[in-house]
Each structure stands twice: as structure tokens, then as C-alpha cells.
A and B are shown apart, each in its own frame.
Chain A
Amino acid sequence: AQSVSQHNHHVILSEAASLELGCNYSYGGTVNLFWYVQYPGQHLQLLLKYFSGDPLVKGIKGFEAEFIKSKFSFNLRKPSVQWSDTAEYFCAVIPDTGRRALTFGSGTRLQVQP
């Protein structure tokens, strides 16, 4: 079965700092990759997704992610974080097997200090 690893469990940054959150998956075939964000007390929202094509994906709110197939990675980046980016971030995968359910990583809690 596939799995998703997020190695950063809790990240604390100051406003305007750059962000990179790691995500690695274990599956040898074609995958569909996602980053979801959960703001405090709110539901999950899609930040960005990768299905195919350009491995550099741009999402909402200035976030981007790069799919590196050789490293089984899909790291999330933002050049300058804001206090409003404080949230929990989840990487998720759907292997291209026909199964439609998301497999999530354990999440990274980002705290941005003003």
C-alpha cells in the first residue's frame, strides 16, 4: 500500500520568511499529488494538485510545489509567508490505479509569527 511522509511536524517561521515543507510518497507507478490546507477550525481546502505535465505546479495564495519523480517528492514552497498562512498542511496522494481515495501524510503544523 502507498504511504506519504511529511517529515516536518511543526514549523515556526517569522513573517516574510521562505517556506518549504517536505513530502515523500512510496509508490512506484504514476501518481496524482495534492497539498491541502486546514486553517484553525476550518475544513480542508485544496492548495494545489499535480496530475501530469509541468512538474512545477502553482496553487492559490502564492504556494507552489515541485514534483520530482526520481526522489518521490512533492515539496511545497512559498517565498514569503504571512501570519495568515498559519495552518496545518497535508500532502496526499492518489496512485493511478483506479482507486479514488486520498492517502494523507501526517500533516505539518505551520506557525507564522508576526
Chain B
Amino acid sequence: DAGVIQSPRHEVTEMGQEVTLRCKPISGHDYLFWYRQTMMRGLELLIYFNNNVPIDDSGMPEDRFSAKMPNASFSTLKIQPSEPRDSAVYFCASSLEGLGGPYEQYFGPGTRLTVT
């Protein structure tokens, strides 16, 4: 298995521009998570989906952020308009609910976003 795939790996954009981050979860996984890592706030949840349905978006900072999961193999996180304080590493993770312990999450390599 290729693991969780994220693109792009690095993104540099100017303030005010729209940014779209992409994630392909591990095939067969039914949970997908978006986390953000910053020096100030550490690792924090933005949103997660179960079977393509958003379950908890309490970590989404504000209306500038939106996430979608149109099918089981693809999710996007969009920031519009972007601001310098959005600079961070954005991780996507996926997991599978199962009998042996449902909660192990597998992380992608992350997208390092820099907003100038």
C-alpha cells in the first residue's frame, strides 16, 4: 500500500490567494482527518470525516477554511483567502474502524504551507 498521499508537499503563496491541499487516504479506510502543526499551537485537529461525511469540524479556524470529501479516496482542504498566520504543516491521516482497535491513524507526509 502506498500509504496516505498528500499533495503538494510544499506550497508557497501570497496572502489573499486561494490554496487547495489534497489527500488520498489508504484504500478501505473509513475515517479521514486533517491536522495542522505549528510551532505555537503544536498538532491540532481541524476536521475529520467518517464515510465521507464531516463529523467534527470544531477545529476549523474560521470561514476561510473549508474541507470536502467527495468520495472515499479523495479529500481537499481549501483556504480562501490565505493569510500569513495560516503558514503551517498540514497533515492528513486515515484510519479504519475495526474489531482489533479502531483508532490507529496513519499519517501522510504533510504539506508545508508558507503564506507570504
> Which of A's residues lie within 8 Å of B, judged by CB?
32, 34, 36, 42-46, 49, 51, 90, 94, 99-107
Contact = CB atoms under 8 A, between A and B. Distances in A.
A76 B70 CA distance: 39
Contacts of B45: 101-103
B95 A104 contact: no
User: How many residues of B sit at the interface, in one of the four size bands?
Assistant: 20 to 34
Interface of B: 31, 33, 35, 42-45, 48, 50, 55-56, 59, 91, 93, 95, 101-110
B111 to A, nearest CB: 11
Contacts of A100: 31, 33, 48, 50, 55, 95, 102-103
B43 A99 contact: no
Contacts of B106: 46
B54 to A, nearest CB: 12
Nearest to B31: A100
A15 B52 CA distance: 46
Contact of A44 (B48, B55, B91, B102): B91
A43 B107 contact: yes
Nearest to B47: A101
A111 to B, nearest CB: 17
